[in-house]
Amino acid sequence: MSVVDVILRGDFDNSYEITVDYGIMDEVVSDLCDEKFGCTPVVICDENTRELFGHELVEKLAVKGVDPLLLTVPAGENSKSLDVFGSLLEAMLEAGITRQDVVVALGGGVVGDLSGYVAGSYMRGINFVQVPTTLLSQVDSAVGGKVAVNISGGKNYCGMFYQPRRVYSDISALDTLPEREILSGLGEVVKHGFIYDRDFVEFLRDNAEKVLKLDKEVMSRVVSRCCEIKADVVSRDEKEGGMRRILNYGHTVGHAIETFAGYKKSHGECVAYGMRIVARACSKAGILSGDDLELHDEVMDRLGLATGDIDIDPSLIMELMKRDKKVKQGAVVIVALDKLGHAVVREDFPLELIEAELKDLS
Ligand code: NAD
Ligand code: MG
C-alpha cells in the first residue's frame, strides 16, 4: 500500500490523501461506516461500475447498518451533461440528503468529474470521496480537483475546482478494464514521466511487459508515482495559473485529433499521438536531444502507444488547434520538452514543425 499526500494550502487547506492498494474496498467500507467523511453515503456509479463494484459496496455497508443512496448514470461521456447533473441533484434532494452527507464517486473519469461537480454544487458543497476504477481516473482525473460536465459548446466548459476529501485507488479494479481503456490510461501515465521524471520513464520502459500484464506491484508503483507527480504539480499551482499547464503535454495536438476523429478515438490515444508529434517537433527545433527522443519513442513503442500512422488532415488539425480553449490571445500554447523529464510552456513554438510532423504521420 502507498499513500500520496496532496498538499493544497491556498486560501483554504484542501489537502487530502490518496491511498493506492489492491483490494481496498474494505477500507472504503470501514471509513464510510465510521462516518469519516459524512453520514449517508451517496454512491454514484455508471451501469458498469454498479455491476462490478456498486452492489457489493452497498451490501457491505448494509451489513454494517449503513444505508447508502445508490445512484446510477448511463456509461459514457454523454452522462457528463447538465441534464444528468440536474437529475442527480433532484434525486439527492428527494432522498433527503443533507450537507452532512458524502458523495462517493465509484467509477472512471466520467463518474468522477460528474459526481465531483454534483458534490461541489449540492447545497453549495458537500463532502466528496473518489474511488476511481479506471487507470485514467486513478492516474489523472481523480487527482487535482477539476470537476465538470460538458455543454454543447465544449467539453468540460461547465465546472469548478472541487477537491475530494480522500481518494482510494484500487489496483485490482483494473483487472476487468478493457484493453482500450488501459491504453488510454497509459497515455497519461507516460506523460507524467515525460514532463517530470526521467527515471520513471526508464522504469516504464524496463517494466513495459509487466505494465501491460497489469502486474499488481508494478501497477501500484505506476499509479502512485503518477499521483505523486500530478499532486506535486497541482500543489504548486492549484488553479492552473502557470505550472499546472505542463500537464497538458501532448494535449493541444491531441485534443485537435480527438475533435477531428469525432471523439471515436480515446482521449489517451489522441494524446499519445500528440506527444509523439510534439517530441519530434522539439527535436527538430533543437530543443530536445536525439537520445531523449529515442527513449521517448521507445517507451511508447513498448507500451503500444500511438504506433503506426493515423488518418488525419494536417491543415484541419492545425485549424482546430488554433480554436482550442487554451489558446491565449491568439497564441497557441504548446507544452514542449527541453529534456526528457522536463517540460516548458511555450507560446512561440514554431507551429510549422508540428504541421510537418502531422503530415509525416498521416
Ligand atoms: P469512463 O469513466 O467513461 O470509463 C471508461 C469505461 O470503462 C466506461 O464504460 C466505464 O463504465 C468502464 N469502467 C470503469 N471502471 C471499470 C472497471 N474497473 N472495469 C471495467 N470497466 C470499467 O472514462 P475514463 O477514461 O475513466 O475517464 C474519461 C473522462 O475523464 C473524460 O470525461 C475526461 O474529460 C475526464 N478527465 C478529467 C480529468 C480531470 O482532471 N478532472 C483529467 C482527465 C480526464
Ligand atoms: Mg488528458
| Ligand with minimal distance to 263 CA | 1
Kindly state if the Cβ of 141 falls inside 6 Å of ligand 1: yes
pLDDT of res. 67: 94
Taking domain 2-176, whether its CATH number is 3.40.50.1970 is answered by: yes
pLDDT of res. 93: 98
Quick check: 219 and 182 in contact, CB under 8 A?
no
Instruction: Quote helix, strand, coil % in the chain, to nearest 5.
Output: 55, 20, 30
Kindly state if the Cβ of 116 falls inside 6 Å of ligand 1: no
Q: Which three cell numbers stand for residue 79?
A: 452522462
Distance between Cα 20 and ligand 1 center (Å): 18
The C-alpha R_g of the chain, in whole angstroms, comes to 20
Kindly state if the Cβ of 113 falls inside 6 Å of ligand 1: yes
Question: What's the number of CA atoms in the CB half-sphere (13 Å) around residue 172?
Answer: 9
Residues of the chain whose pLDDT is less than 70?
A: 325-328
Quick check: 218 and 205 in contact, CB under 8 A?
no
Distance between Cα 227 and ligand 2 center (Å): 14
Q: Which three cell numbers stand for residue 185?
A: 490510461
Residue range(s) of every CATH 3.40.50.1970 domain in the chain: 2-176
- 179-361 falls under which CATH superfamily? Dehydroquinate synthase-like - alpha domain (1.20.1090.10)
- Report, as residue numbers or ranges, the catalytic residues: 124, 146, 188, 230, 240, 244, 248, 251, 255, 267
Kindly state if the Cβ of 80 falls inside 6 Å of ligand 1: yes
pLDDT of res. 310: 87
Quick check: 77 and 110 in contact, CB under 8 A?
yes
pLDDT of res. 261: 86
pLDDT of res. 325: 63
Quick check: 144 and 116 in contact, CB under 8 A?
no
Range 91-94, long-range pairs (CB < 8 A, 24+ positions): 92/42, 92/118, 92/122
Question: Which atom in ligand 1 lies closest to the alpha carbon of residue 137?
Answer: 26
Distance between Cα 259 and ligand 2 center (Å): 14
Quick check: 27 and 19 in contact, CB under 8 A?
yes
Q: Ligand 1: which of 113, 115, 156 to mutate, judged by most atoms within 8 Å of the beta carbon?
A: 113
Kindly state if the Cβ of 140 falls inside 6 Å of ligand 1: yes
218 known ligand binder: no
Residue closest by Cα to atom 24 of ligand 1: 109
